[in-house]
Amino acid sequence: MRYARVSAGGRAMWGRVGESEVELLSGSPIEGDPQVVGSVRRDTAVWLPPVVPPVFYAVGFNYPRHIEHAGAAVPDRPEAGYRANNALTGHLSPIVRPADVEGRFEAEPELVAVVGRTLRHATREEAAEAVFGWTIGNDVSARTWQHQDRSFWRSKNSDTFKPMGPWIETDVDALAQRTTLRVNGAERASFPTGDMVFDPFDHLVEISRYITLSPGDVLWMGAESTCGIEPGDTVEVEISGIGVLSNPVHLEGNHHS
C-alpha cells in the first residue's frame, strides 16, 4: 500500500495512492485504521511530506564507498544525528537555494524508514516489525556552511532542504532495491540501496537502547553518492519499488527560475 499526505481544500490530509486517484483518509494509517472520506485526482494532487515526524533521525556516513571517498573512518557502531521539520517539503515542491549560498550545493539520495510503533530496548526482530513503511529523502546540503558552521543548522536544515516523498510504501523489500539520482533526466548516481554499513534495523535497535522511538519518527539512511544541483535544475531520486521523488531547484527571491 502507498500512503501519502496531500493538500485538499487547504487542509493536510492522509491519502491512499491508487492508479489514478488518491483516496482521502479520515486520519493517519500509522496509528489507526482510517476511513475513506473522499478522493482527489492523482495527477493534480499537491503532495506534502508523507509524515511530519515527532523526531527526525538521519544517518551520516553509512555507505562504504561514500566513507572511502570522504576519507572517513568506517563507523564501528550505528549512530544517527538529527534534521529539523521546518526543512521538510513535498514531492514536486521547489528546493529553494538561499541567496547567499556559495560553493557546492548538493543532492543526497536516501532511503527513509518510517517507524510505526513505540520502540524501547528493541530486538532486531522487534525493530523490523516496527517499520511501517519506506519513503525517499533528498538530504540537500550546502557544503561550505556544512564545513564552516559548528552544527548542520543551515547547511542541511534551511527551509526546503529536506524533500521527502512522494509516499510511504508499505509493501517492499527496501534493502533489495536500487537508488538512482538524476538531474534534468540524466543519471548522476546509482547504487544498491541496501549496501549499508549498518542497516535501518541496526540503527533502530541502537537508538532504542536510550531513546523511545514513536510512531511517525523517520530515519534517513544516508547516501553512497551525491551530485551538485543548480537553480533551474529538476532533481529526481528514484528507489525501485518505492517511487520517484522529484523537485525543481529555485533561487531564493527568483520565483521564475
Contact positions vs its own copies (CB under 8 A): 54-55, 57, 60, 75, 79-82, 84-87, 98, 120, 149-151, 153-154, 157-159, 207, 209-214
Please say which residue, 172 or 211, places its beta carbon nearer to its own copies. Answer: 211
Quote the least distance from Cβ 222 to its own copies, whole Å.
Answer: 12
Quote the least distance from Cβ 253 to its own copies, whole Å.
Answer: 11
Residue 75 · residue 197 · CB < 8 Å: yes
Quote the least distance from Cβ 140 to its own copies, whole Å.
Answer: 12
Which residues have CB under 8 Å from 129's CB, separation 6+?
117
- For 98-148, give the DSSP string: -TT--S-EEE-EEEEEEE-S-BSS--HHHHHHHEEEEEEEE--EEHHHHHH
Please say which residue, 3 or 57, places its beta carbon nearer to its own copies. Answer: 57
Please say which residue, 87 or 181, places its beta carbon nearer to its own copies. Answer: 87
Q: What is the spatial distance between Cα 34 and Cα 105, in angstroms, rounded to a whole number? A: 40
Q: What is the spatial distance between Cα 87 and Cα 199, in angstroms, rounded to a whole number? A: 24
Quote the least distance from Cβ 165 to its own copies, whole Å.
Answer: 19
Q: Round the CA-based radius of gyration of the chain to a whole number and report it.
A: 17
Upper half-sphere CA count for residue 52 (Cβ side, 13 Å): 11
Looking at the DSSP assignment, which residues form a beta bridge with residue 142? 105
Please say which residue, 153 or 232, places its beta carbon nearer to its own copies. Answer: 153
Helices (H), the chain: 64-70, 124-130, 143-148, 200-207
Q: Name the residue among 220, 234, 34, 180 with its Cα closest to residue 5.
A: 34
The three cell numbers locating residue 42: 492523482
Please say which residue, 89 or 180, places its beta carbon nearer to its own copies. Answer: 89
Quote the least distance from Cβ 249 to its own copies, whole Å.
Answer: 16
Quote the least distance from Cβ 98 to its own copies, whole Å.
Answer: 6
Please say which residue, 18 or 81, places its beta carbon nearer to its own copies. Answer: 81
Please say which residue, 47 or 57, places its beta carbon nearer to its own copies. Answer: 57
Residue 50 · residue 3 · CB < 8 Å: yes
Quote the least distance from Cβ 248 to its own copies, whole Å.
Answer: 19
